[in-house]
A and B are shown apart, each in its own frame.
Chain A
Amino acid sequence: MQVEKFYYDNKIVKMFAYASVLWGVVGMLAGLLIAVQIYLPGANFNLPFTTFGRVRPIHTNAVIFAFVGNGIFMGVYYSLQRLCKARMFNDTLSKIHFWVWQLIIVAAALTLAMGYTSGKEYAELEWPIDIVITLVWVVFGINMFGTIIKRRESHLYVAIWFYIATWVTVAMLHIVNSFEIPFSFMKSYSWYAGVQDALIQWWYGHNAVAFFLTTPYLGMMYYFLPKAANRPVYSYRLSIVHFWALIFIYIWAGPHHLLYTALPDWAQSLGTVFSIMLIAPSWGGMLNGLFTLRGAWDKVREEPVLKFLVVAVTCYGMATFEGPMLSIKSVNAITHFTDWTIAHVHVGALGWNGFMTFGVLYYLIPKMFNTPLYSKKLATNHFWIGTIGIVLYAIPMYWAGFTQAEMWKQFTEEGTLKYQFLETVTHIIPMYITRSVGGAIYISGVFVMVYNLYKTVQAGSFVADEAAEAPALAKVVDTHGKQYWHRWIEARPIQMLVFSLVAVAIGGILEIVPTFLVKENIPTIASVKPYTPLELQGRDIYIREGCYLCHSQMVRPFRDEVVRYGEYSKAGEFVYDHPFQWGSKRTGPDLAREGGKNPDSWHFMHMLNPRNTSDKSIMPNYPWLYANDLDTAITPAKIRAMQTLGVPYPAGYDAQANTDLEAQAKKIADGLTNDDQIKKLASVSEEIDLKNIQKKEIVALIAYLQRIGTDIKGEKKPTTASLP
């Protein structure tokens, strides 16, 4: 067989590596900002685009899709070429992939800052960006499969399996969760409503963790760990079982994000059972990684790359043990909606994704620049700084989560709640401060890495096209005996693609289809009506400002929650909620029964400065809602979009909607202008233009807040065992 000479494309790997570092710094700084905002409301700067509700999605999107996203492409473009013994399929496609991905990141940052969000966590980007993501994902797919098809190595190493599964599953998740109906250039409503929207969203949300933050990084682990340790992976057979079991089980686990909610019980149970089963493949993979270093632990002492990879894999093991534990209903009853979830996520993000990325960067940059790393000592220092950062981040959050959950649930001997919600928040402020110190330490470690890599790049000379040679792949692969059945799938990328899709689609279909089939069977509650035009506009402001990031709208059927918030939430209450706004964290109290709890004037004073009504509140001010006129020109388009989605507004209501909107706004405005407290506040506050208050956004938001959860308040309460 003739040996062919070819060149690996290192330039594209370098570009993705630099982008990963750049966006990593940006995303982590955004994280640090919101970590400080949580105990220092002044750090929101009273500006819409620097306020927590808008910066938080910038942080999560930047870290997931920009830092880790570019990290994935860096790892895939480097390892795929070498495992396939081929240059990437097409250099132009590589460049398109790179630049369009960066364009998406910039567009995401700008639009999220401007308040354009779909209101679904980790899928916040609006429809035009969703379309561009789909297109660039196709470009990535063509480039990846093109490379696999023109490879010079007949076997497909398990890392490539993980890359293929990543590609196909992310495509499926993104498309299904992004079904939305646009009503303007940058805004849309989710195609799904309420319970169904929640199921789809968390099927997506959980599997974004699984197939964006985990499987591609497992692929990288299977390539870079053996490379860095210079020994093959502990058990290749185990990696086969690991791969298939992991992708098959992972897809079912999404409903564990919705335990004790209005989601059907059987779907919750499936989520729990499969989450617990996930321990097996996850730990199989972790142990396979760690056992690869058996007899070579002395190398870990000396080699910073291995230090990072070992702690990354260990954090993966910790997070994947903790995840199933959190999926047990009795544990979830304590941890859900608290900072425990934040701690859990960051053990994964800072430990697994962060340290894996750093380890790979320390490995790749010296290789591609043909020079040793500038300073192993600095890299080791980075390792220790980062580790201390993770510990100082995670422990206070576990503590805060557990403490707050306990405080939420405590009753006095007389049977009343022991703590007001705000007391449980101010109690954990020291933990929030410590967390931000931990985060700051972690980021300072990243700056040490940037310096170290910069000096390495300066000292080396970049090998843009790395020469390699390998014999061409025979047209017909010679198989004999029992090899045949293994090779039928193992070496065939299209079979691998199809089987991966089947494996991940089964779980999705079996969970989602029944929930949709019973759509007609959701007990429609006669008193639940569509939102009025003003409330709908207010709801969109609620979504724009990211209120759902700190306030849930889901009262679980627990004694403390029913006493604190009111009647537990029912599936039938959310049938017009496009998108659902159940939330996943209670930095502030639940709002599912907020309507009618406080007078309009309370909300008016509270939104201007929450300290006006709630001393020591950590909520930001929203002064722009008092200055901005409500955009009523868009009301008819919103009504039409809702009608398309099946919300039963009468035919032709779009033309009448603004009349109703104005009437309702006037009523609220009249009440406000006649309130003595408001008059007094307006006389000393420059932000309030009381004469024109009827036209301002705040009135729409108040209308919505006063509506939430009121539809069933008039109905007779069922007697529940959970009531005191």
Chain B
Amino acid sequence: MKFVHYLEKISGVDIYALSSFAIFFTFFLGVAFWAWKADKNMINEINQLPLNN
């Protein structure tokens, strides 16, 4: 039996792999930036929440 790798049969499939990385890195950078730019007082305030109750 000739076994053909069936992913070769749908065109442009590499876009799935590439887009997944693109989405992740954009997302990751966004979140990292978001965390980095967050207001220090606010972060400290939230960080104390478990200890305040």
**Stretch from A55-63, A231-239, A310-318, A665-673 forming part of the interface with B:** A231-239
Q: Which chain A residues in 173-223 approach chain B with CB under 8 Å?
A: 222-223
A265 near B5 with CB under 8 A, answer yes
Contact B16 A510 (CB under 8 A): yes
Is the beta-carbon distance between B20 and A252 smaller than 8 angstroms?
Answer: yes
**Is B17 a contact of A270 with CB atoms below 8 Å?**
yes
Question: Is B39 in contact with A83, judged by CB distance below 8 angstroms?
Answer: no
Counted as pairs of residues, one from A and one from B, with CB atoms less than 8 Å apart, the total is: 120
Interchain CA distance A269-B14 in the complex, whole Å: 12
CA distance A236 to B19 in the complex (A): 30
Cβ B19 vs Cβ A510 within 8 A: yes
What's the Cα separation between A586 and B47 when bound, in Å? Answer: 47
Contact A232 B48 (CB under 8 A): yes
Q: B6 is contacted by which of A155, A231, A232, A571 (Cβ under 8 Å)?
A: A571
In chain A between 229 and 251, which residues have their CB closer than 8 angstroms to a CB of chain B?
A: 230-233, 236-238, 240-241, 244-245, 248-249
* 0/1 interface trace, chain A 509-532, chain B, CB 8 Å (1 if under): 010001001100111010000000
B50: chain A residues at CB < 8 Å are 79, 82-83, 157, 159, 222-223, 226-227, 232-233
The CA-CA distance from A232 to B46 in the complex, in Å, is 9
Which of B7, B38, B53 meets A83, CB within 8 Å? B53
Interface size in chain B (residues, C-beta < 8 A): 37
Instruction: Write out, one digit per residue, whether chain A residues 466-486 have a CB within 8 A of any chain B CB (1) or not (0).
Output: 001010000000000111011
- Picked from A485, A503, A517, the residue with its CB within 8 Å of the CB of B34 is A485
- B7, B23, B35, B49: which contacts A237 (Cβ < 8 A)? B35
With A514-B10, A518-B7: A230-B35 Cβ-Cβ less than 8 Å:
no
DSSP majority for the B interface?
Answer: helix
Interface size on A, residues (CB 8 A): 59
B residues in contact with A158, CB < 8 Å: 46
In the bound complex, residues from chain B placing their C-beta under 8 Å from that of A236 are: 43-44, 46-47
Whether A233 touches B27, Cβ cut-off 8 Å, given contacts A507-B20, A518-B6, A718-B2, is: no
Q: In the assembled complex, which residues on chain A have CB atoms less than 8 Å from the CB atom of B53?
A: 82-83, 85, 468, 470
Flag if B47 contacts A518 (CB, 8 Å): no
Sample 9 A-B pairs with CB under 8 A, ordered by A number. Answer: A79-B50, A82-B50, A155-B49, A232-B48, A244-B31, A264-B7, A510-B19, A525-B1, A712-B1
Binding site for B on A (CB under 8 A): 79, 82-83, 85, 153, 155, 157-159, 222-223, 226-227, 230-233, 236-238, 240-241, 244-245, 248-249, 252, 264-266, 269-270, 277, 468, 470, 481-483, 485-487, 490, 503, 506-507, 510, 514, 517-518, 521-523, 525, 570-571, 712, 715-716, 718
